[in-house]
Amino acid sequence: MAWSKMKQSLESFLSPALYDRVEYSATSYRYLPDKAGRSYIKVDKKYVFNMNDTTTSIRWYQTEQEIKNDPELQIPISSEEIEKVRKDSKGTIPEDRLIVIARSRKISEYAKEILSAQSALSKSNFEVEANRFLTNSIEESLESKDILMNIFALVDRRVGKKRLLNMAEKMKLKHPIVLYFYELRLSAFDNGTNSKL
């Protein structure tokens, strides 16, 4: 599918409140196949997501340690995760340490997922992921570990306020750019600019 047609399809799914605010773009170099093109998403005419540039104002992690040391990162730990640590240790770890160990394990898993998702981003897969979004169900896109799929789904008109609010805990485990678009969509509801946001 040609980019212009794909862009039109993507934008047709935008929430009405974000239609004039969110813009998708992808360029390529037809005669320089070894040179990456440029893919980005603008919000209110500002570049917030540029797949080839990690210098945007949104946090991009370079190492697992950066993720582990991020003070803004809130990792919820379930009682099942604590119970797993208890079972693995055969009850030899003091109760107060179980949460610390469970959180440390979860942060390590989270860090690997985030770094993997970041490294998967490139010009060549922007259009592939956009096409995949257009053919997948909205549920698959919301549940995906792919950053772009999450972004496309969060600004989609088929996702309502109730569903967004129910995703609050899951969003804490997403990349900062996904969280940015989640908050952008929620703010559109809060502004009340349209009843079908």
User: Does residue 111 sit in the same domain as residue 128?
Assistant: no
pLDDT score at 10: 92
- Same domain, yes or no, for 99 and 72? yes
Where a domain ends, among 99, 115, 131? 115
Look up residue 194 and give its two tokens: 């349209």
**Distance (Å, rounded) from C-alpha 155 to C-alpha 186?**
10
Total domains in the fold of the chain: 2
* Per-residue model confidence (pLDDT) at position 116: 76
DSSP the chain: --HHHHHHHHHHTB-GGGTTTEEEEEE--TT-TTS--EEEEEETTEEEEETT---SSS---SSHHHHHT-TT------HHHHHHHHHHTTT-S-HHHHHHHHHHHHHHHHHHHHHHHHHT--HHHHHHHHHHHHHS-HHHHHH-S-HHHHHHHHTBTTS-HHHHHHTHHHHTTS-HHHHHHHHHHHHHHHHTS-TT-
Residue 57 lies in a domain: no
**Where among 81, 97, 115 does a domain terminate?**
115
Q: Are residues 167 and 127 in the same domain?
A: yes
* Domain around 143: 3-52+122-191
Q: Which amino acid is at 193?
A: T
pLDDT for 196: 46
Task: Please list the rounded mean pLDDT of every run of 10 residues in the chain (197 residues).
Answer: 86 92 76 57 86 62 80 80 87 84 86 76 67 93 90 94 91 87 89 51
Please enumerate in sequence order all residues whose Cβ is within 8 A of that of 155, keeping only pairs 6 or more positions apart, or say none: 13, 14, 15, 18, 22, 181, 184, 185
The pTM of this model reads: 0.73
| 59: in domain | no
On whether residue 166 sits in a domain, the answer given is: yes
Q: Are residues 141 and 111 in the same domain?
A: no
Q: What is the pLDDT of residue 76?
A: 79
